[in-house]
């Protein structure tokens, strides 16, 4: 268990540095808002890499919003969880407000700052933890579409079955812990507050 996202981010940064990603001119670190940005800040500092966000949204299942029935990226592309008991029609409708929220967050977090290009670059996607992996899959696919030549998924903790599921979705997965019986990201942190939009914006500005 980590004390907070900062401590976890520093541990993750150590591992990415060990794997040779520090000090390279072709690396961009992209945090998944909100909590992933707090981890990504520590990674970007250690690797001496530029920091940006990659915004994707989970589409929660009916009656269980924490369970991902799908995910949607900034372009409105929908990624389905085929194990979720929902129809494609339901998922398309439920994804609309989540896509709207993704665009709102993009405007809130980035403001007038242009997006960092990932064309020809190594894109390291950082989150504070990964459960089903659908939002991670959406982020990785979106970055590939934006021209990233190598994608790395990095998080302090991931569900072991998700690591196996995503191994073909990116070039490398970096997970510090893959505990059996994984059930919630927050269970691996002593302090796991929800971040506000203003806190994310402040982290990105300082990062």
Q: Can you give the pLDDT at residue 207?
A: 65
Helices (H) and strands (E) in the chain, counts: 6, 8
Strand partners, 64: 61
Q: Can you give the pLDDT at residue 183?
A: 85
CATH number of 58-108: 3.30.1310
Q: Can you give the pLDDT at residue 89?
A: 96
Least confident of 6-15, 28-37, 106-115, 173-182: 106-115
What rounded mean pLDDT belongs to the chain?
A: 95
pLDDT at 169 over 90: yes
Spell out the residues 6+ positions from residue 190 whose beta carbon is closer than 8 angstroms to its own.
1, 2, 3, 4
Q: What is the DSSP letter of 189?
A: B
How far apart (Å, rounded) are the C-alpha atoms in residues 144 and 89?
Answer: 27
pLDDT at 92 over 90: yes
Q: Three-state SS for 148?
A: coil
pLDDT at 131 over 80: yes
Q: Where are the domains of the chain?
A: 5-55+115-206, 58-108
pLDDT at 132 over 80: yes
CATH number of 5-55+115-206: 3.40.50.2020
For 54-91, write each residue's pLDDT tens digit: 999 999 999 888 888 999 999 999 999 988 889 999 99
Query: Is the overall model pTM greater than 0.85, yes or no?
Result: yes
């Amino acid at each position: 268990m980590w004390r907070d996202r900062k401590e976890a981010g520093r541990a993750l940064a150590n591992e990415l540095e060990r794997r040779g990603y520090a000090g390279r001119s072709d690396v961009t670190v992209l945090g998944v808002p909100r909590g992933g940005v707090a981890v990504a800040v520590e990674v970007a500092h250690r690797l001496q890499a530029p920091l940006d966000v990659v915004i994707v949204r989970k589409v929660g299942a009916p009656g269980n919003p924490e369970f991902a029935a799908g995910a949607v990226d900034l372009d409105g592309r929908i990624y389905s969880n085929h194990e979720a008991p929902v129809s494609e029609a339901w998922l398309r409708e439920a994804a609309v407000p989540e896509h709207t929220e993704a665009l709102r967050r993009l405007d809130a977090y980035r403001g007038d700052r242009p997006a960092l290009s990932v064309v020809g670059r190594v894109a390291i996607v950082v989150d504070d933890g990964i459960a089903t992996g659908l939002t991670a899959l959406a982020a990785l696919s979106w970055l590939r579409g934006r021209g990233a030549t190598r994608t790395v998924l990095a998080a302090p903790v991931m569900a072991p079955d998700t690591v196996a599921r995503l191994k073909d979705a990116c070039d490398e997965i970096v997970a510090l812990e893959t505990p059996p019986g994984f059930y919630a990201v927050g269970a691996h942190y002593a302090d796991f507050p929800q971040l506000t939009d203003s806190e994310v914006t402040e982290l990105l500005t300082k990062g």
